[in-house]
Amino acid sequence: MVAPLKLTAPTSKTMHHFTDHDLKDIKTEEINDYILLLIRLKTISVSEQNQRIDAIKFYYKKVLDREKQFPKIERPRKEKNLPDTLSKTEIQNILRSISNIKHKCLLELIYSAGLRRNEVLNLKINDIDSERMLIKIRSGKGKKDRYSLLSENVLIHLQEYFIR
């Protein structure tokens, strides 16, 4: 038989959790409170929270053989960090340093129209609407079509590229 799982949370004196309970009888709220206590006292990271939740679920599924009865433990929200952005001057310096007109057009389309790499690579000449100054993106993210704005500078460079 497997020894009972002892979950502990560090404080000034180590506090033992669930030592007075039979692990089969612990409620989901108690587990969630334990995870919250760890977050507050130990400031555990999101990945560490997920590891502990996975360990608890493993115990309920595999050790206690309660495949369909394991508790619905709340998972932490994923962090949403904004990406670092380049300044206008940095973008201009990058674009000025490119001598190949094709590569310049690709980067200008990505930057000015907010296109993804695959969206730019899949563009066709018919997707550029110079009269309405729009770009039609076919089967973008989520297999959805959409329109994006076409910059006048990009249009000039695209015309240069197609003339060559």
What does the domain layout of the chain look like in residue ranges? 7-63, 88-163
Q: Is the pLDDT of residue 1 over 90?
A: no
**Which of 9, 21, 7, 15 lies closest to 59, judged by CA?**
7
Handedness of CA 31, 21, 60, 48 (dihedral sign): positive
What mean pLDDT do residues 141-146 have? 87
Percent of the chain surpassing pLDDT 70:
82
- 94 or 3, greater pLDDT: 94
Helices 46-58, 28-42: axis angle to 10 degrees equals 150
pLDDT above 50 for 124: yes
- pLDDT tens for residues 29-53? 777 788 788 888 888 888 888 888 7
* Dist. CA 32–CA 45, nearest whole Å: 15
What is the pLDDT, as a whole number, of residue 54?
A: 82
More confident residue, 150 or 36: 150
Calpha distance 23→26 (Å, rounded): 5
Distances (CA, A) of 62 to 58, 59, 99, 140: 6, 6, 61, 42
Task: Please give the CATH topology (third level) of the domain spanning 88-163.
Answer: hpI Integrase; Chain A (1.10.443)
pLDDT at 67: 65
The pLDDT, as a whole number, for residue 96 is 93
The structure's pTM equals 0.52
Let me know how long the chain is.
164
